[in-house]
Amino acid sequence: MQRLEVLGANKLKGQINISGSKNASLPILAATLLSKNKITLKNLPKVKDIETMINLLQSLGSITKFTKQSLVIDNSKQKKVFASYNLVKTMRAGILVLGPLLAKFGNAKVSLPGGCAIGTRPVDIHLKALSKLGVKFKILNGYVYANAPKGLIGTNISFSKISVGATENLIIAACFAKGKTILKNCAIEPEIKDLVNFLLKTGCKIKWIGKRSIKIFGVKQIKEISYSVMFDRIEAGTYLIAAALTEGKLQIKNVIPKIIKTEIDILKKIGAKIKVNHDKINIVGNKKIKNLEIKTAPYPGFPTDLQAQIMVLLCKANKNSIIKEDIFENRFMHVAELNRMGAQILTKGNKAVVQGNINFVPAELMATDLRASVSLVLAALTAKGKSVINRIYHLDRGYENLEKKLKKVGAKIRRVN
């Protein structure tokens, strides 16, 4: 099994190019199932979750071909509606094929997603909303058996709580529903806006009619297009935090700064010096880091996917900080490992009290999930000596060439078998 060895502590200096967004690519890949022709996608990140989703599309009958810069998906022979547990178990986004399969064929058999370390993330919000479009379903032996006897029929749906996955599934499904669908209390993450932009380009009729409301008129087919996926805002945020943490000086390229305004504003409050251009962010880390009270929230709030990383930075603050995790119920799994590196973090329920003025010490560490694993890498970058991070397959799910990008800006990091 592979692991990372990190020799701290060095200031990071140089440029980092941000890859395409994993969280935007996954629903867009699922939405390509609506097509009966070819769709070309550019700027897909080379990460494990994308590979898994492409394998899932292939198992459903999609023919995929990589060219130098893009992926071409041909659905002219795609007719299968069975998404196997073997392909869905490692990736929650597998449930996103349910909406397009029901829209296109009127029935589907899709595995419930496998266990997830950071929380239950139930699919009941997806199923309840789909049932309002005319879908009947039963859950048997870990699979959702769903069919729409009369096809999908447009209606008004208000989500009981804000859910990124359910919003994505319903937007895709409603594109082929008869008549008009209105979705209320939608998630408005930039990745959802990117999915909507993709679908608009294919000829779907979608309109935002309020901050969290969408109106969709069903169409019968979509056209062939080429589309470039947005940048990965979580990857960008991770490297911005890495610069602030190591008193580094980085230029983060291939981004749209206004999309991550919340994160930039928080890093400025903490003490980092930041200048933005139209597609670049220049950041200089400060020796003095200010403490903060922060809580995760749906966009445009502070993202739960950066909570573990900001926690590492706040260990270096001048006083104690407080982090409230308001999205997932089990997302402090990195705390025990950070405490083994010298951090003093106390958790109670969804609240963590982070003691400041900490100097991390090197240790052998175990990654528990995608964002927790990158937080351990960040802590190791500041610890004097060698840290070893095991189970880095979590990292490979969502970060493209992490050690290569860090090495290029001065980190001493290597992957070993």
DSSP string, 276-309: E-SSEEEEE--SS----EEEB-STTSB-GGGHHH
Rounded distance between C-alpha atoms, residue 396 and residue 391, angstroms: 10
Q: How many C-beta atoms lie closer than 10 Å to residue 130's C-beta?
A: 28
The predicted-structure confidence for 57-74, as pLDDT tens digits, reads as follows 999 999 999 988 899 999
Distant-in-sequence, close-in-space partners of 336: CB < 8 Å, separation ≥ 6? none
User: What is the pLDDT, as a whole number, of residue 89?
Assistant: 82
Query: Whole-prediction pTM value?
Result: 0.96
- Structural fold of domain 3-19+231-416: UDP-n-acetylglucosamine1-carboxyvinyl-transferase; Chain (3.65.10)
Known catalytic residue: 204?
no
Rounded distance between C-alpha atoms, residue 316 and residue 290, angstroms: 8
Rounded distance between C-alpha atoms, residue 232 and residue 399, angstroms: 9
In CATH terms, are 3-19+231-416 and 22-228 the same topology? yes
Angle at 266 between CA 264 and CA 269, to 5 degrees: 110
When pLDDT is averaged across residues 250-267 and rounded to a whole number, the result is 98
Q: Where are the domains of the chain?
A: 3-19+231-416, 22-228
User: What is the pLDDT, as a whole number, of residue 121?
Assistant: 53
When pLDDT is averaged across residues 21-28 and rounded to a whole number, the result is 98
- Structural fold of domain 22-228: UDP-n-acetylglucosamine1-carboxyvinyl-transferase; Chain (3.65.10)
Rounded distance between C-alpha atoms, residue 96 and residue 330, angstroms: 23
Q: Which residues of 148-292 form beta strands (DSSP E)?
A: 156-158, 180-184, 205-210, 213-217, 225-228, 249-253, 273-276, 280-284
Tell which residue, 413, 381, 41, has the closest CA to residue 225: 41
Using a 10 angstrom Cβ sphere, with 0-12 exposed, 13-18 middle and 19 or more buried, the burial of residue 236 is buried
Under the banding of pLDDT at 50, 70 and 90, the label for residue 318 is very high
The dihedral formed by the CA atoms of 130, 132, 134 and 135, expressed in degrees to the nearest 10: 30
When pLDDT is averaged across residues 326-337 and rounded to a whole number, the result is 88
Q: What token pair was written down for 245?
A: 């943490």
User: What is the pLDDT, as a whole number, of residue 319?
Assistant: 97
User: What is the pLDDT, as a whole number, of residue 328?
Assistant: 80
Rounded distance between C-alpha atoms, residue 177 and residue 214, angstroms: 14
Indicate which residue of 116, 175, 186, 204 is catalytic.
116
Q: What token pair was written down for 193?
A: 């806006």
Yes or no: say if 16 and 408 are a contact pair by the CB < 8 Å rule: yes
